[in-house]
Structure 1
Amino acid sequence: MGKTAGRKKRIIITTAAMLAIGGGAAFAYWTGVGTTSTAVNSGTESALTVAVASLADGVLTPGGPGQSAVITVTNPGKGVQKLNKIDVRVANSDGTPWVKVTGCSADDFDVAASIDQVQIQAGKSATGTVTIGMKNSDKDQNACKNVAVPLYFSVS
């Protein structure tokens, strides 16, 4: 029995030692899977601005020579903006129809603006021209003498 007890004792000690050695070297861990996302707001750009140089000297007369001026469209934003076209009409600063006095209206004038389609870099400008002339009408146009004709621009 001494031999069997000694043998059992050695087996138990050896097994315990192997477990201790193997158990000490074993590592347990969790594998992890995760995702993340973020968003960057694109925001909106500042509106393009339009400035008009002074019109040429002279006055508008029915059927007489028109006047022209340089227009400058500026991009005050932080990114590139595309200028497709510019529209101009005789109108109040809010775009509503203009009537200075009875007998003189936007219908007495021809206006046009031209500018190339262009991409305008941030802080940069593009230039074009605006022209205005007074139509020669069959009606009395005396009411249009000495009036300041407002021009309303819109860009897209």
Structure 2
Amino acid sequence: MSQAAGRKKRIIGTTVALVAIGGGAAFAYWTATGTGNTTTAAGTSANFTVTSTVAGAPLSPNGPTQTATFTVTNPGTGVQKLSTVAVTVAATDGSAWTAVNGCSAADFTVGSPNFTATEIPAGGEVTGTVTLQMIDRPGVNQDGCRGATVPLHFSAS
């Protein structure tokens, strides 16, 4: 009987040790959200900071695309999970952009953001790109868009 009791004690001890070791290998992260804009190339939120720059030929109906490069930064003290980045032609608060007479968000199309969804460590960052193109709206005078500064609104979560 003492052999069985000793064996049970070893099994219980081994199980406790494995649970303790396994518990120390857990991974965790905080979820976060944030917004940003480009024209001034900066925007912040409580959790993520989003900055961006735009490069490419001037936009024209069905003309070339421009590429916006954006960076999502985790200014926090812990790991944050970046899952999605949404980009729209919108005002800095995300509302409809109507700052230019004869030109609106309906004159542009924004591509799908290209970035890697990942956990971002404190002070870390993820870089991505998105395209912007002016579309041709048959029968609509788009002269108001000539020389306009088109605002891109970024929302990261």
TM-score range, shorter chain: 0.5 to 0.7
TM-score for both structures, normalised by structure 2: 0.67
User: Equivalents in 1 of 2:130, 2:154: separation in Å?
Assistant: 10
Equivalence for 1:131: 131
CA distance 1:44–1:106, change in 2 (3 Å) = closer
Partner AA of 1:109 in structure 2:
F
1:110: how far off?
0.7
Contact 1:100 1:147 (C-alpha < 8 Å) held by counterparts: no
1:115: how far off?
1.4
Q: Let me know the Cα RMSD of the aligned residues.
A: 1.8
Contact 1:110 1:135 (C-alpha < 8 Å) held by counterparts: yes
Equivalence for 1:100: 99
Q: What are the Cα deviations for residues 7-60 of structure 1, in whole angstroms up to 9, with x where unaligned?
A: xxxxxxxxxxxxxxxxxxxxxxxxxxxxxxxxxxxx99741111102x224210
In structure 2, the residue corresponding to 1:107 is in which secondary structure? helix
Q: What are the Cα deviations for residues 93-148 of structure 1, in whole angstroms up to 9, with x where unaligned?
A: 11110013332110100113221111100001011102111011111111111110
Contact 1:85 1:116 (C-alpha < 8 Å) held by counterparts: no
Equivalence for 1:7: none
Structure 2 gap segments, 5+ residues each? 1-29, 33-45
TM-score for both structures, normalised by structure 1: 0.67
User: Equivalents in 2 of 1:70, 1:107: separation in Å?
Assistant: 22
Between the two proteins, the alignment pairs up a number of residues equal to 113
User: Equivalents in 2 of 1:148, 1:87: separation in Å?
Assistant: 20
Equivalence for 2:59: 60
Equivalence for 2:49: 49
Contact 1:77 1:123 (C-alpha < 8 Å) held by counterparts: yes
Equivalence for 1:4: none
CA distance 1:102–1:78, change in 2 (3 Å) = same
* Aligned counterparts, 1:1-150, within 5 A: 46-53=46-53, 55-112=54-111, 113-138=113-138, 139-150=140-151
User: Equivalents in 1 of 2:126, 2:101: separation in Å?
Assistant: 37
